[in-house]
Chain A
Amino acid sequence: MDIPTNLKYTKSHEWVRLEDDGTATIGITRHAQELLGDMVFVEIPQVGRKLKQREECAVVESVKAAADVYAPISGEVIAINPELESAPEKVNEDAFSAWLFKLKPTNAADLDGLLDAAGYQKVLESEAH
């Protein structure tokens, strides 16, 4: 599976893209959307909400199940993807570009704990067995 190397990952299948302006963009991985199947609803945290790392902050709902999305890092929500409310299928079409929300990180140390593409690949391999 192609895992973009410019992103960081969590064991719970979120991806994080660190932007040049110091903000972080967050979504769920292709593997996560594959497990869930066709998305029917995405619930995103409100702008201004302060999240702690690993806090449940969004819900992705498919025809099969609803799954929690956890904040990969602590931070304040500064933007949400307006497209997903009417078109949750964008997550299925291209999970790595259909971002859910953007954070202004509040704890730089959180970033160190994230996985790189190779590390995430290992997580997927261990889950397959």
Chain B
Amino acid sequence: MLIFEHSRPGRRNYSQSPATAAEIRNIPQNLLRKTLPLLPEVSEMDAVRHYTRLSQLNFSIDTQFYPLGSCTMKYNPRVCNSLAMLPQFLARHPLASEDTGQGFLACMYELQEILKDVTGMAGVSLTPMAGAQGEFVGVAMIRAYHEARGDYARTEIIVPDAAHGTNPATAVMCGYKVVEIPTGKEGDVDMAALKAAVGPKTAGLMLTNPSTLGVFEKNIAEMSKIVHQAGGLLYYDGANLNAILGKVKPGDMGFDVIHINLHKTFSTPHGGGGPGSAPVGVAERLLPFMPVPVVAFEQGTYRWLTEKEIPQSIGRLSAHMGNAGVLLRAYIYIRLLGAEGMHRVAEFATLNANYLMVELSKAGFEIAYPTRRASHEFIVTLKDLKEKTGVTAMNVAKRLLDKGYHAPTTYFPMLVPECLLIEPAETESKQTLDAFVASMKEILAEAHAQPEMLKGAPHTTPVRKLDDVKAAREPDLTWKQSS
């Protein structure tokens, strides 16, 4: 039910309060509207109940296990929220002078320094406000680098076919032609295809490691050598950074630029609740092109670096300092973890994924890359199940909602048919994982015994099976008052 459907003419916040009409003094009569705007008319209590009820109907990381592969739906510690909401942060005006904002600038500077250290990069800019924007910035810097050297022949970006769709989209947005390279049987980049694809036209390679197939790329050093020898740069898509946090640094692998999804790895809220934040880290040779502003620390004082100090900068991504509140939450999360904690994030995230993979395999599920150790996520394929029972990955995903779990990512990556991409994240306990396995086992039994029931799932959620085809073919997004 929409808030508009709760509306009753004349209903106000405080029906019992004395009626007062707002007094309008400074607006000329001819500019005043004659009719009231179409807004819902509800009491304060109606509004509170409406939104509380909606929140109760929702799946969220605060209520249920949320193994959404590639999204790293980990717990968002409440303390990060409360500290980032200190009035001194909230009331700070973005245009306030540097000397009145030294505390905030210190947090941003330290966050830059820590992210530099974690990724092994020479510089970090915090301004991009989403993963896709971070990618755009990264490739825009690659372009600026080649052009600054007068090298206009590089018109291609190489992207493995397992990549997130944003990678080729980013390359195209930056004016490049995408050269797709295939994946081998074991889930690694096809090295022969990479060698054949690189050349004088190669501006760079965009790589996600561990890949979206849930495996650690085996030939990173060689890949890095091949691309660099051809004069291209290496872009690291940090979407899956959780699996290597504190263990290995993309800079040490030879990468020239990386974006980091703070809303994944560094536990800031996301998934409809956002907003996202995607700092970029760069190697020495890309430092002159970093987006501004960046925070510097000189003679005991923090200050902004802008176009003045970084004249070759690719520019600004936001009016001020990106999503400042999100950056603060990530900073606090990082300070709570410390260097030791970061190692544990990667260890627990990969341990949880590998445990879950083995248990699901024992329960009868087919693992897409059974010879490989999982990274922080892994893929189950239901190709055989579909052939035998007609039950699809989508049916299983919907049935999981009935069992009280958010569904894993379905039908991505597209290289694996009928797939579920499962990422438990490090914040889940063994008991939660075991309960999830038990539910998956039940669903597998149901697939054989009652396939028709499964195809109708979900059966217990507030909204039942949706007609997603009709929704996509005839999107109807506007509520109209019925007369």
Contacts and interface: CB of A to CB of B under 8 A. Distances in A.
Contact of B473 (A35, A64, A65, A88): A88
B411 A65 contact: yes
Contact of A65 (B414, B417, B469): B414
A40 B472 contact: yes
B468 interface: yes
Given A40-B473, A88-B473, A63 B468 contact: yes
A41 B411 CA distance: 18
A63 B469 contact: yes
Contacts of B414: 64-65
Contact of B411 (A64, A88, A89): A64
A38 interface: yes
Interface string A40-82: 1100000000000000000000011100000000000000000
B411 A38 contact: no
Contacts of B472: 40-41, 63
Contacts of A63: 468-469, 472
Interface string B379-420: 000000000000000000000000000000001001001000
Interface string B460-474: 000000001100110
B391 to A, nearest CB: 15
A88 B417 CA distance: 23
Nearest to B468: A63
A88 B468 CA distance: 15
Interface string A70-112: 0000000000000000001100000000000000000000000
A40 B469 contact: yes
Interface in B469-483: 469, 472-473
B149 to A, nearest CB: 30
A122 to B, nearest CB: 18
A83 to B, nearest CB: 14
Interface residues of A, number: 9
Nearest to B383: A128
A28 to B, nearest CB: 16
B415 to A, nearest CB: 11
A55 B65 CA distance: 44
B241 to A, nearest CB: 26
A4 to B, nearest CB: 24
A74 to B, nearest CB: 19
A40 B468 CA distance: 10
Nearest to A63: B468
B239 to A, nearest CB: 18
Interface in B423-478: 468-469, 472-473
A38 B411 CA distance: 14
Nearest to B414: A65
A40 B471 CA distance: 9
A64 B468 CA distance: 10
A40 B414 CA distance: 18
B174 to A, nearest CB: 18
Contacts of B468: 63
Contacts of A89: 469, 473
Among A40, A65, A89, chain B packs the most CB atoms within 10 A around the CB of A40
Interface in A14-48: 35, 38, 40-41
Which one of B411, B414, B417, B472 has the greatest number of beta carbons of chain A within 10 Å?
Answer: B472
Contacts of B473: 40-41, 88-89
Interface in B171-195: none
A41 B473 CA distance: 7
B420 to A, nearest CB: 14
Contacts of A64: 411, 414
A41 B475 CA distance: 12
A99 B281 CA distance: 48
Nearest to B472: A40
Most chain B CB within a 10 A radius of its CB, from A38, A41, A89: A38
A52 B417 CA distance: 31
A68 to B, nearest CB: 10
Contacts of A40: 469, 472-473
Looking at B411, B417, B468, B469, the one whose CB has the most chain A CB atoms below 10 A away is B469
Contacts of B417: 35
B185 to A, nearest CB: 10
A89 B472 CA distance: 12
Interface in B330-387: none
B178 to A, nearest CB: 10
A55 B46 CA distance: 57
A64 B418 CA distance: 11
A41 B469 CA distance: 10
A89 B470 CA distance: 11
A128 to B, nearest CB: 10
A86 B180 CA distance: 32
Nearest to A66: B165
A41 to B, nearest CB: 8
A22 B468 CA distance: 41
Given A35-B417, A40-B469, A41-B472, 6 more contacts: A40-B473, A41-B473, A63-B469, A64-B414, A65-B411, A65-B414
Interface of B: 411, 414, 417, 468-469, 472-473
Report the 6 A-B pairs with minimum CB-CB distance, sorted nearest first. A40-B472, A38-B469, A64-B411, A40-B473, A63-B468, A63-B472
9 contacts: A35-B417, A40-B469, A40-B472, A41-B472, A41-B473, A63-B468, A65-B411, A65-B414, A89-B469
